[in-house]
Amino acid sequence: MRSVLALFLACSMLLILAPPLCAEAPPTMVLDPETPGVEIGDKMRFAPGTGDTLASLADRHTAGHLSSSFDETVAKLRPYQPLWAVVEVQNGAPAEGRPPDDWVLASDIYGLIALDVVLVRLGAETDQLLAHDIRKPFAPGDYTVTRVVSRPFELRPQERALLLVRMVHGTVEALDLSLERSAFTRAKGFASGLSLAGFYAFLLSCLAIFAVFSAMMRAGTGFAYAGLLLLGLVFVAYLDSFLFRWLYPARPDLHLPVGLVLLLGITALGFLAALLSLRLPGSEPAVPWGLGSGALAALAAILAVPFVPPEIMAPLAYVLLAAMLVAQVFAVFQWEGAGDRMRPILRLIPLIALIGLGGVTALALARSQAGGLSIPWTIKGTYATLALGIMASLSAGLIDMRRAHAAALAREMEAVRKEARTTRNLLDAERNYARMRDLADSRRMQMASMSHDIRQPLSALRLSIERMAREAPQDTRDHLREAFDYIQTLTGGQLDVARDEVRAEAEDETAPYPLSLVQEAVGQMFRDEARAKGLDLRIVPSTQEVRVPALHLMRILSNLVSNAVKYTHGGAVLVGVRRQGDNLALQVLDTGPGMTEDELTRNMKAWQSGTDSQGHGLGLAICHQLTRQNGLVLRARSWVGKGTAFTLDIPPEARS
């Protein structure tokens, strides 16, 4: 019985002591000096940072008590808790009088907060290779361009050493560490610097060209997106730590607030750009109100950054950024500038980029590297695609809009030419009619004059013949009397006909016509000149009919509109008709510099013009002469610095 109990206790002790005795011995990583660089993550052993000393970690590593799984160890960490990674390295070069070889530990972990590297040689000799922490002032020696690197360490051929790495992860929990030869690290840094310089130079050039193009096209939306993309490029530079390096290297406490301000600034400008790019019908006021509210919320959050803790402000910034991305997707599908064939492609480019940016943001929030994906260059690639897609879409849209505008302008010019030809033909016809009427009047006056002049000699001749025919037979005297009566009837009838025709023409000299004919003709005459000056020439046509001679009314109105367009340098010129009592008031209103009472009185006189005028001063005088001639009244009121109003009163007798 005792022997059985002893055997049971021995087996139990073996089971209890089995795990320590069977702990897996950590591998030694043999370094080949001929290999420029090698990843070391798969050879490392891991432990949470709980205040262990270097000696304790070294002992635990040697005993095989550290975890071989990075993911399992990270899963046990609290946010921003340190993580230790340990690996034993050996210079694999043969010991044949070869000098020591040097290596550098390089990190490509995105968003790393702290990285400490310690080398422990046999005999407990320790060497601090790196003490990097972004919460401390910027240390240029910790970087080659954007990579964090340790200072070089040397290993003699076949020499072993223990490499201990302490990490505090930030944005992404990843393991991307490598041991590289110093020359290889310098070459890689040089290539990375060239790539970054090319990236920023290319995109800055594209943004400059796009901004100049938007200025030439007078496109406010293009300017807004140029500013948005420029601010986005500044944020990419912030992620590369260039702002920390160049603007506030001694103030690491500013790094996180600066990032939040940039992110919120991008959000506010993104809402504004989306608002400017939309062509919204008036029946959907909620959409522009929502976009404007988003921009105001982002601006208010910027003001709150110095007072609100980052752990509260950062989630709010992410929510606003997500809302802005949704607004941009909505805006992309509202762009109507591009042609029908290009519009789906130009919509797809920024849409894919926006989805990619959202994916990168989701990965950052999930603190995942998504395999071997390089988040810094993924962000740059997404930004470049987004920037080029937006610039291409807006540029194509603006060009297409300009082409459509030019085509519409060409059609309008052709319509104006046709109307001008019609107007010219009408004027020619009216001139021909006036000429023929004058000729007929002249012939009629000649006939009337001849009839009038013949009456006296004819009467005298009748008296003489009647005296001479007193002795003639009665039949002869009757024939003579009938002949003279007929002749006198002809001459008197001709005078009556001429008088009746003159009276009829005086009554029906001008047929009634609508005022809109004269208004639209004058509008066509001056619309191009007003558009060239940036003025809004508005014609409000009237269907009221008048009997004022059309040429006279056109001369009056064209002189008034010509002066208004000539002296108005900004704003609008309005031509319209309104009733004032029994009269019709044809008005020309402008937003020009206005005139004083003395200037207005002087300009009404012939050969008197304003001090800034290049004319002869006849325009308003001609208007007054024609209005008096046709029984009309021209009134004027002017306000210095505000504009002038001319009113032509048309009484009832001058209308149909």
How many Å apart are CA 643 and CA 571, to the nearest integer? 10
Residue 37 bridge partners (DSSP): 180
Of the ranges 92-101, 232-241, 600-609, the best mean pLDDT one: 232-241
* Confidence at residue 370, expressed as pLDDT on a 0 to 100 scale: 47
Give yes or no for residue 254 having a pLDDT over 80: yes
pLDDT above 60: residue 476: yes
pLDDT at 68 over 50: yes
Confidence of residue 523 (pLDDT cuts 50, 70, 90): confident
Q: How far apart are the first and last CA of the chain?
A: 140
Q: Which of 41-45, 82-86, 452-456, 479-483 has the lowest mean pLDDT?
A: 452-456
In the chain, where the domains are located:
23-188, 201-411, 438-507, 513-654
What tokens appear for 578 in the block? 């309104």
Q: So what's the pLDDT on residue 488? A: 66
pLDDT per position as a tens digit, 615-624:
334 467 778 8
* 280: its two tokens: 């919204």
Radius of gyration, CA atoms only, the chain: 49
pLDDT of 358: 58
* pLDDT band, residue 610 (cuts 50/70/90): very low
Nearest to 393 by CA among 485, 321, 331, 322: 331
Banded model confidence at residue 500, pLDDT cuts 50, 70, 90: low
Task: Kindly state the average pLDDT of the residues 295-316.
Answer: 92
**pLDDT for position 115:** 95
Whether the predicted pLDDT of 93 surpasses 80: yes
Determine the pLDDT at residue 86.
Answer: 96
Please give the average per-residue pLDDT across 486-495, as a whole number. Answer: 66
Over 90: is that where the pLDDT of 200 sits? Answer: yes
Distances (CA, A) of 253 to 249, 258, 259, 411: 10, 9, 11, 63
**Per-residue pLDDT, 576:** 92
Query: Do 23-188 and 513-654 agree at the fold level?
Result: no
Q: Looking at the predicted structure, is the pLDDT value of residue 340 above 60? A: no
Q: What are phi and psi of 470, to 5 degrees?
A: -65, -35
Q: Tell me the H-state helices in 508-650.
A: 515-532, 550-567, 597-603, 619-629
CA distance linking residue 135 with residue 337, whole number of Å? 48
**Phi and psi at residue 469, to the nearest 5°:** -100, 20
- For residues 282-290, average pLDDT: 59
**pLDDT score recorded for residue 276:** 82
pLDDT on residue 350: 54
pLDDT tens across 633-654, in order? 999 898 888 899 999 999 988 8
- CATH class for the region spanning 23-188: mainly beta
Question: How far apart (Å, rounded) are the C-alpha atoms in residues 251 and 255?
Answer: 8
Q: Which residue has the higher pLDDT, 310 or 205?
A: 205
Are 570 and 591 contacting, i.e. CB atoms less than 8 angstroms apart?
A: yes
Q: Cβ contacts of residue 467 below 8 Å, gap of 6+?
A: none
**pTM (2 decimals)?**
0.59
Q: Higher model confidence: residue 115 or residue 284?
A: 115
The count of other CB atoms within 10 Å of the CB of residue 564 is 26
pLDDT at 139 over 70: yes
**Which of 39, 323, 342, 29 lies closest to 175, judged by CA?**
39
Q: What is the mean pLDDT of residues 355-368?
A: 52
Cα–Cα nearest to 456, from 491, 494, 496, 481 = 491
Give pLDDT tens digits for 414-458.
766 776 776 676 667 667 766 777 777 676 666 666 666 666 676
**Which CATH architecture describes the domain 513-654?**
2-Layer Sandwich (3.30)
